[in-house]
Amino acid sequence: MAKKVDLFIGFLITVLWGGNFAIIEMGLKDLDPFILTFLRFTLCAFPLVFFIKKPSNVSFISLAIYGIFFGVGLWWVVNFAMFNGLSAGLSSVFLQFSAFFTIILSFLFLKEKITKIHMIGIFFACLGLIMIIHFSGQESTVKGIFLVIIAAISWAICNIVVKISKPVDMIAFIVWSSLFSAPAVLVMTILVKGWQTILSIPHDITIGSAFSVIFQAYITTIIGYMIWNNLMKKYPATEVAPLSLFVPISGIITSYIFLGERLSTGKLLSAMIVIVGIFIFLNATRYQNRKKEKIFNAV
């Protein structure tokens, strides 16, 4: 069962990720969303790759799979969805369905247990997410939603890669996997938008967008995913993945505080329902253990 300290740290990371959408908006004022992603992973890899050794217990194949799914399958696809009309708010909500995909994949490939209590937690969390979408009042596109669901599956696959490979040095794992993320994002960007977008980087970048790239590379990705992946490696998916459901809640709150976006009663109620679902998730193992103890004592 996950320690309370680890769960609290995981919670803080999801708060950071939720607030990161304001930082992304800062970068998108001056940079193309694909370029923002490309620069993010380029900085994740360079210059740190020259000073940090490749993780000894992880193969290049695992690094490549994680890097490509993380860079292209997750973040490039999310930005492409936003490029096709899906709002940043709804993107953050749909992306958190990765929690359920992670749990399902862990059950299928790693034989991790899913109990009835977990299913109840999934029900409440899904209900809350759907309510957030309903009360957001934002327009979306079917294509954009479909793309973000693909991104959510990609994030789940990344979580499974971490659980299987169990990197000893997580910072080295993120830095070296970014060697595969950056070129893959670059290729996809050129295919979709052409070379001109790449060539315009020196003219488009500003102090604000540079800060956004640096923050996303070093704080959000290297530090944030170092902590998240270590939790994924250490605990069952059912105890960690649901924490990501705090991201849209954090995003709603930070948007209200820093961007002045309206925080409706419906959104607050939706957030509370998601929290109930997460609480059920995180206490499922404890409840099962107590139930077993009662049965044992009765015998």
Count of CB atoms situated within 10 Å of the CB of 298: 6
What is the model's pLDDT at position 136?
66
Contact 258, 58 (CB under 8 A): no
Question: What domain count does the chain have?
Answer: 1
Rank 18-32, 107-121, 164-178 by mean pLDDT and report only the highest.
Answer: 164-178
Q: How far apart are CA 220 and CA 20, in angstroms?
A: 7
What is the model's pLDDT at position 23?
85
Q: Is the pLDDT of residue 267 over 80?
A: no
Q: pLDDT digits over 212-238, tens only?
A: 999 999 999 999 999 999 999 988 887
Contact 267, 252 (CB under 8 A): yes
Q: Which domain holds residue 173?
A: 4-298
Phi, psi of 53 (to 5 degrees): -75, 150
pTM higher than 0.85, yes or no?
A: no
Q: What is the mean pLDDT of the chain?
A: 85
Q: pLDDT digits over 119-153, tens only?
A: 888 888 888 878 877 776 665 667 887 888 899 99
| For residues 184-193, average pLDDT | 92
CA separation (Å) from 197 to 45, 75, 86, 118, 162? Answer: 21, 18, 21, 45, 33
Band (pLDDT 50/70/90 cuts) for residue 299 is low
